[in-house]
Structure 1
Amino acid sequence: MEEISGTKSHKLILNNRRTGSFTGILDVLSFDVGEILLETELGMLDLKGKDLHVNRLNLEKGEADIEGEIDMITYSKVPEVTGKKDKMFGRIFR
């Protein structure tokens, strides 16, 4: 199991699959009545269901409240940008 370190924090409270409160939200990437995609401090959070609505969103505090019929919650890692950064010596000695 991978250990989570640092000051990152994320909390999910789901009530009867109808309402949810979330913390650690960085951004809302997309939303409609069938799917909400959130970027959290610990990865991507994909919510799928019916009649989904974002009732409250405060990105300064990293909080969101969602309601609707929540059928699925999926987490995934945020893809890291990988690439070779040109360093001065790397460019000189190519």
Structure 2
Amino acid sequence: MEELNSRAGQHRISLVNREACAINGVSDVLSFDVGEVLLETEQGMLMIRGSELHVSRLTLEKGEVDIDGRIDSLTYSEQTASAGSKAESLLSRLFR
């Protein structure tokens, strides 16, 4: 199992009782607040929704994020190709 975890570009989510989430393969944190965390991962954009969300650990050098709180949903969307379209996608989500 150690060999699997050490591969570059691997994306993994571990969710415990909908209260604690450990995520690998994160390249950027685009936004976060108590109701939503938006991450850029190896597998696309990941939106985590819930209540009282807290980013308890962030290590972008290793691509790791830990989130605590009540997690209600994890939603992926396709990763965009350029930074301009990423910003547009983020803005369109904020104003829905």
TM-score (norm 2): 0.75
Q: CA deviation at 1:80?
A: 2.2
CA deviation vs aligned residue, 1:28-82 (integer Å, no higher than 9, x gap)? 000000000000011000000000000000000000100000001101111224x
CA deviation vs aligned residue, 1:16-38 (integer Å, no higher than 9, x gap)? 00000000000000000000000
Q: What fraction of aligned residue pairs are identical, expressed as a percent?
A: 55
- Structure 2 counterpart of 1:26: 27
Is 1:73 paired with 2:89? Answer: no
**Which one has the largest radius of gyration?**
1
Aligned length in residues? 75
RMSD: 0.9
**Aligned counterparts of 2:10 and 2:76: Cα–Cα separation in 1:** 15
| Structure 1 alignment gaps of length 5 or more | 1-6, 82-94
Q: Point out 4+ residue stretches in structure 1 off by more than 4 angstroms.
A: none
**Aligned counterparts of 1:43 and 1:30: Cα–Cα separation in 2:** 15
Structure (1/2) with the larger helix percentage: 2
TM-score (norm 1): 0.76
**Aligned counterparts of 1:77 and 1:16: Cα–Cα separation in 2:** 27
**Aligned counterparts of 1:49 and 1:77: Cα–Cα separation in 2:** 21
- Structure 1 counterpart of 2:47: 46
Question: 1:8, 1:42 within 8 Å by CA — same for their partners in 2?
Answer: no
**Aligned counterparts of 2:15 and 2:57: Cα–Cα separation in 1:** 15
